[in-house]
Amino acid sequence: MAMAQVLEETYEELKERVERGIKSPEVSEHAARLWVCGSCIVPSPFAIDARGGMLLGRDDRWSAMLMDVEEEGDPYENIARSVMSSPYEQIAEKRALWVVEETRKARVDGILFAYHWGCNYQGAISRVMCDVTKGAGVPSINLEVDDLGRAASPEQSLNRISAFVEMLGGAPPES
C-alpha cells in the first residue's frame, strides 16, 4: 500500500515538473539523447549526464528480469515464449530494426553499443547493429570495454563517450 502511494506521488511530481518545464540541474540544456545497446554493461547515467548526454533507453528493456509472463498454461513454455519475444533475443537485423524504431520514437541523437571484451556474441553482432542503425540515419559507436568492477579503470570508456556526446552536439551542464 505504501509503495503504491510513493509511486503515485512520484508520478504526480514528475508530471508537474514536465508541465512546468522544470528540468533536473544535473542534465544539460543541450544534452545529446542516447540509447544503449549491448549486454552486461550500462554506462553510468550520472557520468553521461555530467558529460552532456542523457540515457533514454536500452535494447534489453533496462533489465532482463522484467518481462510479462502469461500465468495460464505451462510456466516453462510461457517463460520461454516471453524471453524469445523480446527484441533483445531476436536475430541481429531484427533487433537492430526494433532499435531503429524505438530510437525514432525517442528522438535519439546517437547509440552506444557497449559490450565486454571477450563477449563473442555481442562483439560479433555489434557491427551489424551499428551498420543498420547508421543506414537509418542514427549515428552509433562501438564500445568494447573491460570495466568489470570498481577496481577497473573506466576512463578510456568515459573519454570515448565524451567524444561521442560532443560529436552529437551535447554539452555538459553549466555549473
Q: Which residues of 145-167 are buried (b: 16+ CB within 10 A; e: fewer)?
A: bebeeeeeebeebbebbbebbee
Q: What is the pLDDT averaged over residues 90-95?
A: 86
pLDDT band at 152 (very low <50, low <70, confident <90, very high): low
Dist CA 35 CA 40 (whole Å) = 15
- Comparison of pLDDT for 144 and 13, the residue scoring more: 13
Mean pLDDT score of the chain: 83
**How is the beta sheet containing 32-38 ordered, strand by strand?**
53-58, 32-38, 110-116, 140-145
Cell 540544456 -> residue: 29
- Please give the pLDDT value at position 42: 73
Domains of the chain: 27-167 (3.40.50.11900)
Dist CA 22 CA 19 (whole Å) = 8
pLDDT band at 128 (very low <50, low <70, confident <90, very high): confident
Q: What percent of the chain has pLDDT over 90?
A: 21
Quote the pTM value.
0.76
Where is mean pLDDT largest: 19-23, 34-38, 83-87, 164-168?
Answer: 164-168
pLDDT digits (tens, 9 = 90+) for 51-69: 899 888 888 765 555 677 8
Report whether pLDDT(4) > 80. yes
